[in-house]
Amino acid sequence: MTARFARWSWRLAVALLVPLHARAQGADPIAEVRKASAETWAAVTKHLLSGDITGLASLWTADGLLISAGSPNISGAANIEANVKRQAAQVKFLAFSHVTQTLEASGDLALETGTQTATVQVNGQKPMTSTSRYVIVYRREKGAWRTRLDMETPAPAPARAMPQPRSHD
């Protein structure tokens, strides 16, 4: 398997994992979403590391949409789950983490951006670690925040030092 496949696999899995569970009614919307986001990412990590694909899929809205660089869009929680199940037969998650950069909410919609890093092993080969950037749109349905849209792209490579211009003395 290629590194690109491994990056796509874990990004797809992560996209399945990001519902938010709202608890307090009438509370500060950002505080509510922040708490639910933390709970959700804990569940995502648990599901990824244990290989619980059904648990991951339960975090999506029925009409969820996954957009991943270099791959066709996947629409619908059932299609996302089926795709991740195929991937999980070859990819094992060894470690997973994320960093939220922004989190906003308005009504029944919330937006989160950040980076996520996963170490995976594809078909028993040497583990690979990759990082991607994400934008997730959550939608509150019957009191629970679920992933409506997850768009991911590989993180840019670290900047290289620019060569210094030569003087023409």
pLDDT digits 0-9 by tens, 133-157: 999 999 999 889 999 999 999 988 7
Beta strands 144-154; 60-68: pairing state: parallel
Single-letter code of the amino acid located at 141: E
Percent of the chain with pLDDT over 70: 80
How do residues 62-100 score in pLDDT, each as one tens digit? Answer: 999 999 888 899 999 999 999 989 988 999 999 999 999
Given this model, what pLDDT does residue 168 score?
Answer: 65
Minimum mean pLDDT range among 19-23, 105-109, 133-137, 150-154: 19-23
Q: Averaged over 17-33, what is the pLDDT?
A: 58
Residue 121: pLDDT over 70: yes
Greater confidence (70 vs 169) lies with 70
How many residues appear in the chain? Answer: 169
Given this model, what pLDDT does residue 20 score?
Answer: 40
The reported pTM is: 0.75
Greater confidence (110 vs 28) lies with 110
Residue 162: pLDDT over 50: yes
Alpha helices in 16-155 (DSSP H): 29-50, 53-57, 77-88
Q: 15: part of which helix (H) or strand (E)?
A: helix 3-15
Residue 24: pLDDT over 50: no
User: Class assignment of domain 3-154?
Assistant: alpha beta
CB 88 within 8 A of CB 55: no
The SS3 assignment for 8 reads helix
> If you average pLDDT over every residue of the chain, what do you get?
83
CB 20 within 8 A of CB 130: no
